[in-house]
């Protein structure tokens, strides 16, 4: 019916964040009177996940019990309804109209509108530091084996000895967190795999690859110090706690497409592996390379699905906030849908990042759009000259703004070091990849900041050039500060290529959701020769370079650039002062993402009492108990548990009560049932007086 117009448009994919709200409108241009409804499953992710799980485990068909019809309010121009977005997941909706003189349902043309709701904290400031724990400690400055030691080590190798040098430890990485999080202002620490690796049998390379996992439910003891008080897993927990203490997040690299030889799974479940025609175990590969130290898992086996879901949940219960899913494109769509549903039943804010490099782009896009996967790798780090950027970036922008964020890495452990080409090239690529992101989703591998030029070898442990006098520490932290505070890097921000002509350069226009705050990014993509950049549109007032702090006098839509030079121009010089103020302020996770998380928690409470018209996040964080009882009409509905006062007390929780947990420091608290399943998981919120709290809703366990 072309006379019914819906917004958001039917068939449109949009991305939102927990704590947002969405308004649907329906206009009927034929003038008939009647009523309208919105048919949707928004807010019922728990029901949807339950059906996915039962279908996979019991073969029960999904019955779409998550769908509901919601009456729309009549307006002067049609119908409208506004819904709070309180659950993470993929949702659909479509409005319909019934005229007064009939019972016939009329739908607007097109498919359902698809809304993807992401965790609140991912709305901005997603700066990611990839840490290879093995490379820390002494290795970070000189590598695992010095040139002087190499001949003796090779001699022992030749005589059949297994020579494995000392590895960096979890506690070594802890010692650098104030630098990585505090100085560089990285919000996410992403660890390369930390599981046990081969030591003798089928060990390849000096250490063995961390991707040749022996046991997905344990950590490599080589990453821990011998300590009679703790286990290696305890020391991993120390790292998790120290990261959370700094209001940062921890993501774990999970190689779930394969294991190492003689792994726990290969010994106990050989039927869960692919086999060659002769019955031997099959090795996986990509880009024409066979990974001979790995055995390929077979996801046609449903028992493997459940095992892997339990693996993810095991690490969530250890405090892991998200996962890099290595070679995740090789798993079936249904397997991912099931695993993610299982995890989100207990940890709904968990982030899943697909490593889809080497796979088909349409597979990545479908996994992002429909499986529950949140992010995927961008391929911007593989696109260097203008032709490559012009060909790749528009498609990357489209996917990031509709299906799921493609995170921009300037360098990963799989590609050559930027500094091996030149320092100019490293600065250019780091800034260009960062300044073209959505929601500030930018990452780099450890050592980039120190101009390390030895490529990360996952079978070895090369130097990170740590502490080098010539570095780009200040360059990176300034870029991170820009992304942290400028609204064009926050939710709803837009990115557009406006380059005019071919000069091996790029002109990128960034704007925030309102269109009021804009940045003009200009880059000479040639790091060896002078160049120029031309662009479409009038940006003659953009004279302040946020990267250097210096004024730039560009005119006539053209500007000459030095080799590898990149500018980030604003028409408001006040942003320079804001950047200085930000860099002088201790990093505490970023105001935008922290504020969105607070907004989501407050919205949970107001929606529970059907009082969104009174929505006030500030009142929620100031006096949560008072607000709860006010919204409940004065009834005492809150039970308080105070740390450490109540540590050794059993606090009774009356039926229907909220549980308010209070402390004098930041914390994460969980409620579990008798099966040790997590019923609710809450991160504390800070109050103005320095105290913290978390509010558990009664609906979480009732």
pLDDT tens digit sequence for 195-208: 999 999 999 989 99
- Percent of the chain at pLDDT > 90 equals 88
Reply yes or no on whether the pLDDT at 2 is more than 80.
Answer: no
Domains in the chain: boundaries: 4-118, 122-485, 497-583, 591-700
> What residues contact 512, with CB distance under 8 A and at least 6 apart?
486, 487, 488, 490, 492, 493, 494, 518
> Is residue 483 classed as helix, strand or coil in its secondary structure?
helix
CATH code that applies to domain 122-485: 3.20.20.80
Mean pLDDT of all residues in 459-474:
96
Q: Specify the pLDDT at position 588.
A: 86
Q: Does 122-485 match 4-118 at the fold level?
A: no
186: pLDDT confidence band, cut at 50, 70 and 90? very high
Quote the pLDDT of residue 700: 52
Per-residue tokens: 603: 């919205």
Alpha helices in 471-610 (DSSP H): 473-485, 574-583, 591-608
**Average pLDDT for 429-436:** 98
600-613 pLDDT tens trace: 999 999 999 999 99
Query: pLDDT by residue (tens digit) across 520-579?
Result: 999 999 999 999 999 999 999 999 999 999 999 887 899 999 999 999 999 999 999 999
**What pLDDT shows up at residue 147?**
82
Q: Which of 297, 268, 265, 267 is nearest to 282 (CA)?
A: 297
Question: Strand, helix or coil at 158?
Answer: helix
pLDDT at 702 over 70: no
Contact (CB, 8 A) for 488 and 520: no
Residue with token string 């005589």 = 159
C-alpha closest to that of 499 among 607, 391, 657? 391
d(CA 66, CA 41): 5
Please give the average per-residue pLDDT across 11-37, as a whole number. 95
Q: What is the mean pLDDT of the chain?
A: 95
| DSSP sequence for 504-516 | SEEEEEEE-TTS-
Neighbours of 414 (CB within 10 A): 17
Q: What percent of the chain has pLDDT over 70?
A: 99
pLDDT of residue 656: 84
In DSSP notation, 350-410 reads -EEEE--TTS-HHHHHHIIIIIS--EEE--GGG--SHHHHHHHHHHHHHHHHHT--EEEEE
Mean pLDDT throughout 123-131? 98
Tell me the CATH number for domain 497-583: 2.60.40
pLDDT of 111 strictly over 90: yes
Q: What is the pTM of this model?
A: 0.96
Fold assignment, 4-118: Immunoglobulin-like (2.60.40)
What is the structure's pLDDT at 608?
93
| pLDDT > 80? residue 288 | no
| Tens digits of residue pLDDT in 475-485 | 999 999 999 99
DSSP of 281-341, one letter per residue?
BPP-EETTEE-TTEEEB-TT-HHHHHHHHHHHHHHHTTT--EEEETTGGGS-HHHHHHHHH
Are 407 and 353 spatial neighbours (Cβ–Cβ below 8 Å)? yes
Averaged pLDDT, 184-204: 96
Residue 150 — very low, low, confident or very high, per pLDDT cuts 50/70/90? confident
Helix (H) or strand (E) holding 259, with range, is strand 258-260
Could you report the per-residue pLDDT of 214-263, keeping only the tens digit for each?
999 999 999 999 999 999 999 999 999 999 999 999 999 999 999 999 99
- Average pLDDT for residues 635-651, to the nearest whole number? 92
**How is residue 257 annotated by DSSP?**
S
Determine the pLDDT at residue 699. Answer: 59
How far is 423 from 452, CA to CA, in rounded Å? 10
200 CB neighbour count, 10 Å cutoff: 10
Each residue of 326-350: pLDDT tens digit? Answer: 999 999 999 999 999 999 999 999 9
The pLDDT value recorded for residue 653 is 86
Which pLDDT belongs to residue 29? 86
């Amino acid at each position: 019916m072309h006379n019914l117009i819906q917004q958001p448009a039917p068939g449109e994919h949009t991305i939102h964040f927990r704590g947002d709200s969405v308004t649907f409108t329906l206009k009927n241009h034929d003038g008939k009177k009647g009523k309208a409804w919105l048919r949707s499953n928004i807010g019922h992710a728990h029901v949807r996940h339950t059906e996915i799980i039962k279908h996979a485990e019991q073969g029960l068909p999904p019955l779409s019990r998550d769908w509901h019809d919601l009456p729309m309010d009549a307006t002067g121009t049609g119908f409208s309804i506004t819904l709070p977005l309180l659950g993470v997941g993929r949702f659909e909706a479509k409005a319909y109209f019934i005229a007064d003189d009939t019972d016939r349902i009329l739908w607007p043309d097109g498919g359902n509108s698809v809304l993807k709701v992401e965790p609140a904290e991912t709305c901005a400031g997603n700066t990611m530091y990839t840490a290879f724990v093995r490379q820390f400690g002494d290795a970070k400055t000189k590598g695992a084996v010095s040139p002087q030691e190499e001949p003796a080590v090779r001699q022992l190798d030749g005589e059949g000895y297994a020579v494995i040098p000392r590895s960096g430890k979890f506690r070594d990485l802890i010692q650098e967190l104030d630098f990585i999080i505090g100085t560089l202002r990285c919000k996410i620490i992403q660890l390369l795999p930390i599981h046990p690796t081969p030591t003798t049998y089928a060990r390849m390379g000096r250490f063995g690859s961390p991707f040749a996992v022996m046991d997905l439910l344990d950590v490599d003891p080589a990453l821990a110090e011998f300590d009679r008080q703790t286990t290696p897993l305890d020391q991993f927990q120390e790292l998790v706690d120290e990261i959370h203490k700094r209001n940062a997040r921890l993501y774990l690299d999970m190689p779930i497409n394969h294991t190492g030889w003689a792994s726990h799974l290969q010994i106990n479940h050989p039927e869960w592996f692919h086999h060659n025609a002769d019955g031997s175990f099959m090795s996986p590969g990509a880009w024409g390379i066979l990974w001979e130290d790995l055995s390929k898992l077979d996801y046609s086996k449903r028992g493997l699905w459940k095992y892997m879901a339990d693996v993810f949940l095991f690490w969530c219960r250890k405090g892991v906030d998200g996962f890099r899913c290595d070679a995740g494109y090789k798993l079936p769509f249904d397997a991912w849908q099931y695993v993610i549903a299982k995890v989100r039943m207990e940890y709904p804010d968990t982030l899943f990042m697909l490593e889809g490099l080497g796979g088909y782009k349409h597979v990545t896009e479908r996994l992002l759009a429909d499986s529950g996967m949140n992010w995927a790798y961008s391929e911007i780090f593989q696109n260097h000259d203008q032709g490559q950027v012009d060909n790749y970036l528009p498609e990357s922008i489209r996917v990031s703004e509709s299906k799921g964020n493609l995170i921009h890495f300037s360098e990963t452990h799989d590609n050559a070091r930027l500094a091996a080409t030149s320092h100019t090239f490293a600065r250019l690529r780091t800034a260009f990849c960062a300044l073209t992101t959505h929601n500030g989703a930018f990452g780099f591998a450890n050592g980039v900041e120190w101009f390390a030029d030895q490529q990360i070898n996952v079978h070895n442990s090369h130097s990170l050039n740590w502490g080098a006098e010539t570095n780009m520490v200040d360059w990176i932290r300034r870029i991170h500060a820009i992304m942290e505070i400028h609204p064009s890097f926050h939710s709803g921000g837009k990115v557009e290529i406006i380059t005019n002509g071919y000069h091996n350069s790029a002109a990128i226009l960034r704007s925030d959701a309102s269109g009021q705050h804009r940045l003009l990014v200009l880059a000479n993509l040639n790091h060896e020769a002078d160049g120029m950049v031309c662009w479409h549109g009038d940006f003659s007032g953009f004279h302040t370079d946020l990267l250097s702090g210096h004024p730039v006098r560009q005119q006539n839509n053209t500007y000459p650039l030095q080799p590898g030079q990149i500018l980030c121009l604003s028409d408001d010089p006040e942003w320079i002062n804001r950047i200085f103020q930000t860099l002088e302020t201790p990093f505490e996770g970023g105001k935008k993402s922290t504020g969105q998380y607070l907004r989501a928690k407050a919205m949970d409470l107001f929606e529970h009492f059907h009082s969104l018209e009174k929505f006030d996040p500030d009142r929620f964080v100031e006096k949560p108990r008072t607000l709860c009882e006010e919204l409940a009409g004065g009834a005492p509905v809150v039970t308080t548990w105070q740390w450490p006062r109540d540590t050794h007390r059993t606090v009774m929780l009356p039926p229907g009560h909220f549980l308010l947990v209070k402390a004098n420091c930041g914390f994460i608290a969980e409620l579990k049932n008798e099966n040790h399943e997590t019923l609710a998981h809450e991160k504390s919120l800070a109050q103005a007086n320095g105290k913290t709290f978390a509010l558990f809703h009664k609906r979480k366990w009732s």
